[in-house]
Amino acid sequence: MAGSVIRRIVIVGGGSAGWMAAAALAAVVRRRVEEIVLVESSQIGTIGVGEATLPTLRAFNGSLGLDEIEFIRNTQATFKLGIEFVGWNPERAFFHGFSDFGPDLRGVSPHQAWLRMRAAGDDRSYCGYSISTLAAQLGRFAPPIPNRDSVLGSYSYAFQFDAASYAAYLRAFAEQRGVRRVEGRIVDVRLRAEDGFIESVVLEGGRSVSGDLFIDCSGFVGLLIERALQAGFEDWSKWLPCDRAFAVPCARTGEPTPFTRSTAHQAGWQWRIPLQHRTGNGYVFCSSYISEDEAAATLLANLDGAALGAPRLIKFTAGRRRECWKRNCVALGLASGFLEPLESTSIHLVESGIGRLIELFPDRGFEPKLAEEYNRLMARSYESIRDFIILHYWASGRDGELWRYYRNMPIPDGLRHQIELFKASGTVALYDSGAFAEPSWISIYFGLGIFPRRHDPMADVIDEAALRRELERRARIVTGAAQSLPTHRAFIDKYCRASG
């Protein structure tokens, strides 16, 4: 069958993952295939969370040709310059911003130059060199200017949006481009007798939908990839034991902050995601250390405004599907695995899964090497994010039973190497296919009070007085640039206020 093109793609599930896949495939491969069908059940519904994103979403939306202002208005979105972490370091809050700490100084990384001045007694915070951190703290936002040499062009941003509205917006986009939506509950998956490939899905009432390539976006259940194909699940709960979340929106009070907040609690952490019309909140917790009633009460006691409903419980297990692509089925979104939303990475993993599928797009021969490569890349992506999240817990100086567990647990070898290298030299060993670059890792290390034993000796070659002057100059420029931006609220009101 090699050489024969895919005729029909069947996407199972209409959450963010399903409609993102439908929109992207409609935009990129629609002309190459006869039909794209999406099957979803409004009876079952979607997970209904997933509101904070990474800057990569802009590239995804851009690849579809979406107009950013229209997207923001349609999804009640606000802008996100990073994440504020409260209570993770008991001594002070810290920020993971979407910018670096400035350009190298005579070949020396800015964090190494800062470490050298710190060793010389300079107590200026490294945050003073991060435009996204300062702008976020001042509640300011404007998109970067198209000049990477200017500090006003040196940062990135993401969005905080209403996940249901995003799926609806992409649905309209995909349907306009010929994607056919089928409403119905899938009750069976038929496999071909000769090779175990998926032949069709059977809906309640007996109707069936057949296809060549199936995309499983059915959520945690993994209807095709797990229930039908038994791809297997690699359980990571020994490293990430949080297994539940309560989610509840609340009325917005005050200005929407251009950042997400993560506040550590006794048995996990709480997210706060401001949108234009409300604030999303949730408590991610470990059920071995707190009862569900107590977790719900903690969440409700820590809202900015009145709760807009009762907290909704979501159960999960951290880990990933052993094979995200098996036979003629590719799993995306929650069907492919789950990592708690501490760094807002799930939608990013959907984007990268879709991008890789398009790059490695099969024909009906389903060359096994394509699946092998896809699975290798997705495994690397999942592992790099897993380790980044573990670092937050492992390095937190917080007290309490769960936090002591994290501090004392054996961590993955790759992360252990990363941490030891950083402690020894301030060097960040980046992961292959990792979502986070050096400044992100440094933000977490420094934010949690992990500093290397020595800085880069090349930093000592620079004259100390000249280095001090240069760092002072940079801090002045970054502060002035952050102060020159409009407030986040003013920017939204002027350019992209949602009508509803």
Ligand X SMILES: Cc1cc2nc3c(=O)[nH]c(=O)nc-3n(C[C@H](O)[C@H](O)[C@H](O)COP(=O)(O)OP(=O)(O)OC[C@H]3O[C@@H](n4cnc5c(N)ncnc54)[C@H](O)[C@@H]3O)c2cc1C
Chain positions contacting ligand X, by CB under 6 A:
13-18, 39-41, 44-47, 49-53, 163, 185-186, 217-219, 221, 223, 245, 247, 282, 314, 316, 333-335, 341, 344, 346-347
Q: Which residues contact 330 (CB under 8 A, 6 or more apart)?
A: 213, 214, 215, 216, 324, 353, 357, 374
Closer residue to ligand X, CB minimum distance, 73 or 244: 244
d(CA 493, CA 485): 14
Other beta carbons within 10 Å of 414:
14
Q: Quote the CA–CA distance of 184 and 203 in Å, as a whole number.
A: 6
Residue 174 tokens read as: 């995909």
Closer residue to ligand X, CB minimum distance, 333 or 439: 333
Per annotation, catalytic residue among 80, 315, 423, 494:
80
Give the contacts of 258 (CB within 8 A, at least 6 positions apart).
78, 79, 80, 81, 135, 136, 139, 140, 141, 157, 488
* CB 232, min distance to ligand X, A: 18
Mapping DSSP to helix (H, G, I), strand (E, B) and coil, where does residue 397 land? coil
Question: Cβ 332 to ligand X, closest distance in Å?
Answer: 7
Residue 221 is classified by DSSP as: G
Q: Residue 76 Cβ, how far from ligand X at the closest point, in Å?
A: 15
Q: What sign results for the dihedral spanned by CA atoms 99, 103, 105, 106? A: positive
The residue among 13 and 110 lying less far from ligand X, judged by its C-beta, is 13
Q: Read off the amino acid at residue 396.
A: S
The minimum distance between CB 16 and ligand X, in angstroms, equals: 4
Q: Which is nearer to ligand X, 51 or 470 (CB)?
A: 51
Q: Min. distance of Cβ 410 from ligand X in angstroms?
A: 26
What does the alpha-carbon distance between residue 184 and residue 83 come to, in Å, rounded to a whole number? 39
Name the pairing type of β-strands 325-326 and 329-331: antiparallel
Question: Minimum Å distance from CB 498 to ligand X?
Answer: 19
Residue 70: CB minimum distance to ligand X, A: 21
Provide the β-strand partners of residue 330: 215, 325
Q: Which of residues 170 and 496 has its CB atom nearest to ligand X in the complex?
A: 170
Structure tokens at 322: 């052993």
Pick 202 or 477: Cβ nearer ligand X: 202
Annotated catalytic, 80? yes
The DSSP result for 405-429, as a single string, is: HHHHSPPPHHHHHHHHHHHHHS---
Measured from the CB atom, the residue of 122 and 234 that comes closer to ligand X is 234
Classify strands 244-250 and 325-326 as parallel, antiparallel or unpaired: unpaired
Active site residues: 80
